[in-house]
Amino acid sequence: MTEPSAVAEARILIVGLGLIGGSLAAALREAGFGRRDSDDAGGGGPVKRAEILACDPDADEIARGIEMGLIDGGDTRLEGVIDGATLVVLAVPVLAMRGVMGELAGLLGRAAPQVVVTDVGSTKAAIRDGAVAAFGRMPPSLVLGHPIAGSEKSGVAAANPALYADHKVILTPEPDTDPAALARVRTLWAACGAEVLEMDVARHDQVLARTSHLPHLLAFSLVDTLARQDERLEIFRYAAGGFRDFTRIAGSDPVMWRDIFIANRDAVLTSLEDFEAGVARLRDAVERGDGDAMLATFDRASHARHYFDTLLNKTSYQAEYQMQQQGKLRYRVSPGGGVTGRIRVPGDKSISHRSIMLGALAEGVTEIKGFLEGEDSLATLQAFREMGVAIEGPHQGRVTVHGVGMHGLKAPSGPLYVGNAGTAMRLFAGLLAGQAFDTELTGDTSLTRRPMGRVADPLRLMGAEIDTAEGGRPPLHIHGGKTLKGIAYDMPMASAQVKSCLLLAGLYAEGETRVREPAPTRDHTERMLTGFGYAVQREGDICWLEGGGKLTAAPIDVPSDISSATFFLVAAAITPGSDLVLEHVGINPTRIGVINILRLMGADLRQENERVVGGEPVADLHIRYTPLKGIEIPVDQVPLAIDEFPALFIAAANAEGVTRLRGAEELRVKESDRLQAMADGLAAIGVEHTLYPDGIDIMGGGRHEGPNYGGGRIDSLEDHRIAMAFTIAGLRASDAIVIDDCANVATSFPGFVDLARKVGLTLEEESGEEGA
């Protein structure tokens, strides 16, 4: 039996019993609201049952709603059903809202004292104006809302209790909206299975004009155009599924959509103008037979559809940069297990990012194999598509980039969204500082907390004009058309991202750009620039290049990411009986800190089948279990393993003795404060440690058999590496380890869960909603 609804209203009044209002009533009934089998109060006698009433000008619709069991009663007049209403839902056409609210204003005194009013209209500014006209101001108890759901069917007979399940409902509260009223409306929609979001009125109308109103306008226009042609019968007879899918919405209620287009006229016209401009560009490409221009448009559209679908399935309206993450994912790792087999982890993220960037700026076509198909890398792909680059794929790790040359990028139509990718944002900052157009770089909530002054400041020294949010954090506003000049820059911290940013800006700068690094960092950018025919010099701790050159397309085979491989290297290193081979892993000398550190700890780790692929050294890594010992991590290895330390901390927790790390303050400004996050997690499972500003001491369990620590619950802080590190910790735990906020694992390591299970971990994914 369905659990009783959490909606605590005594009497809900739905004004307008069509598809939307009827489906709301059906969903509430399905959730248990006002259910007849709740009349008996457990032997304590009858109780007053919550009611759903309706007002509709069509008496037949009222009768049908009662017959279907959706409502308890109704009237064609508002005054006949307003008495005692605690929540009023206005579900009438948009242009009828003003009149209904005017009538409601004179009757609210007969409703319950704390009555709340909400609506379901598809445009909000016009309805807000109507409310002000009716009530003299926006009442604090009026919460405007819009369920993003519907059907081409109409009337209460089409009511569907699942219409709102897993759909979004956008609420547009005002600054003085009563928080209690807002909470009651949120509860109403949550009971229907909807995902409730908030947005300001103007933004709502702009977004919906593009995502809902414009598609309906186009569908109506296309069907009407074809229906008026002489051969219309033949056209419709042979229409394929795509035509039917696109034009299905042309069967929607014409009166309702007329009202919407009138009410949201300005936003609809703006979106229509943008669409007409895009059609004109495409028409021109077809007329000229410009295959590259057509491919760029089609491919950009195709992958935008898939990419943003992925984002929307993981977070709520993430592509609009407005919403808080709603969906949560947690891992539950059962203790024990073995680690054996032969696997290949995804391609190197750093190289994947750079391959797209340099391929886009090159002259010619760049073929890429082994591309990492994670969210971060896909964000980079999408950003270049939005700047006019034709990109085919990815298809099973294969990507084809049709380069536009050093000065061929075009201004994007809006902010470039790079998700969780700090590498992409910092490298983009250098690359875009030399363009002729303005750009804005933004990302998810985690990325907006990360410092960008470390790239913005030296770029300003080169002549770039860059605005950041408070504290030097994203979004970055980069003003184009500035003349850049090469500089000699001593980096205050070892950072491959800062070095690469300045080298990419140096491509567009007058003269020479020189970067001195205080310690060696990964050199993928220098290697790849050389592979694309651009000379990069190096002497000691300084690398430099001359601006004004060009890039020539070259094939790239992306090796497997050593950062991703690290989790499985450590899993095998800490688990008795393990024997694991990781294939085709990049062993760039600037990235092998994790290999060196594990060997210093006593790991049985060998490099086999060593070779050079596309300028990058690769090998198969073969690791067997042998007891580890604690060490003092050499300072010169810290920058070579900076991303691998979360996993290495788990190795330390299973080693005999103390492992000491210093000089790693950079860990505090990653996707999370990784020193603090790992210390908190280690404390949660009972690992003794001492935290320092720039490092940590970890007292390992050192047992050769059985668990080295307990189970516990870990807050990953939406940091993928924290989540994966504590996943492998489960191999030597005495009880289950539960890790919250794991959705971002896909940003760096798609397929992690499947590979973890394949090699022997017992890992389950769960919904991470509170109380689950």
| Three-class SS state of 129 | helix
Does 355 carry a binding-site annotation?
Answer: no
Q: What are phi and psi of 717, to 5 degrees?
A: 60, 30
Q: What does the pLDDT read at residue 309?
A: 62
Residues known to be catalytic: 643
End-to-end CA distance of the chain: 19
Does 354 carry a binding-site annotation?
Answer: yes
How far apart (Å, rounded) are the C-alpha atoms in residues 356 and 514?
Answer: 24
Does 349 carry a binding-site annotation?
Answer: yes
Averaged pLDDT score across all residues of the chain: 88
Q: For the packed helices 291-314 and 265-288, what is the interaxial angle rounded to 10 degrees?
A: 140
pLDDT at 315 > cutoff 50: no
Sign of the Cα pseudo-torsion (407, 409, 412, 418, in order): negative
| Three-class SS state of 477 | strand
Give mean pLDDT, residues 403-418.
Answer: 91
How far apart (Å, rounded) are the C-alpha atoms in residues 193 and 58?
Answer: 29
DSSP per position, 287-302: HHT-HHHHHHHHHHHH
The ranges of the chain annotated as CATH 3.65.10.10 are 329-341+560-767, 350-557
Measure Cα distances from 594 to 171, 571, 644, 727, 730 in Å: 48, 13, 6, 18, 20
pLDDT at 317 > cutoff 70: no
CATH superfamily name and code, 350-557: Enolpyruvate transferase domain (3.65.10.10)
Does 422 carry a binding-site annotation?
Answer: yes
Over residues 113-156, the pLDDT tens digits come to 999 999 999 899 999 999 999 999 999 999 999 998 877 677 88
Sign of the Cα pseudo-torsion (85, 89, 93, 97, in order): positive
Per the listing, tokens 């380069």 go with 403
Does 314 carry a binding-site annotation?
Answer: no
Indicate the residue type of 312: L
pLDDT at 16 > cutoff 90: yes
Per the listing, tokens 């603090």 go with 676
How far apart (Å, rounded) are the C-alpha atoms in residues 699 and 172?
Answer: 52
Q: 413 vs 722, which has greater pLDDT?
A: 722
Kindly tell me the burial class for residue 387, based on how many C-beta atoms sit within 10 Å of its own C-beta (0-12, 13-18, 19 or more): buried
Q: What does the pLDDT read at residue 237?
A: 62
pLDDT at 212 > cutoff 90: no
pLDDT at 742 > cutoff 70: yes
Give mean pLDDT, residues 585-606.
Answer: 96
pLDDT at 219 > cutoff 50: yes
Task: Give the rounded percent of residues in the chain with a pLDDT score beyond 90.
Answer: 63
pLDDT at 291 > cutoff 60: yes
Indicate the pairing of strand 51-55 with strand 145-147: unpaired
Over residues 664-693, the pLDDT tens digits come to 999 998 888 999 999 999 999 999 999 999
pLDDT at 301 > cutoff 50: yes
Sheet strands side by side (includes 51-55) = 73-75, 51-55, 11-15, 87-90, 116-119, 142-143
Tokens of 135: 């009530």
CA gyration radius, the chain = 30
* Residues of the chain by 3-state class (helix, strand, coil), percent to 5: 40, 20, 40
| Three-class SS state of 88 | strand
> Cα 477 from chain centroid?
21
Give mean pLDDT, residues 45-63.
Answer: 83
**372-376, 446-450, 746-750: segment of lowest average pLDDT:** 746-750
Query: What CATH class does 329-341+560-767 carry?
Result: alpha beta
pLDDT at 44 > cutoff 80: no
Over residues 145-201, the pLDDT tens digits come to 999 887 767 788 989 999 999 899 999 999 999 999 999 999 999 999 999 999 999
**HSE-CB for 534 with a 13 A CA cutoff:** 29
Kindly tell me the burial class for residue 361, based on how many C-beta atoms sit within 10 Å of its own C-beta (0-12, 13-18, 19 or more): buried
The ranges of the chain annotated as CATH 1.10.3660.10 are 207-289
Indicate the pairing of strand 116-119 with strand 11-15: unpaired
Does 721 carry a binding-site annotation?
Answer: yes
Does 674 carry a binding-site annotation?
Answer: yes
> Across-strand partners of 728?
none
> Is the domain defined by 11-199 classed in CATH 3.30.2090.10?
no
Does 643 carry a binding-site annotation?
Answer: yes
> Is the domain defined by 207-289 classed in CATH 1.10.3660.10?
yes
> Across-strand partners of 473?
469
pLDDT at 324 > cutoff 90: no
pLDDT at 76 > cutoff 70: yes
Over residues 646-665, the pLDDT tens digits come to 999 999 999 999 999 999 99
Give mean pLDDT, residues 253-259.
Answer: 80
pLDDT at 283 > cutoff 70: yes
Over residues 510-532, the pLDDT tens digits come to 999 999 999 888 899 999 999 99
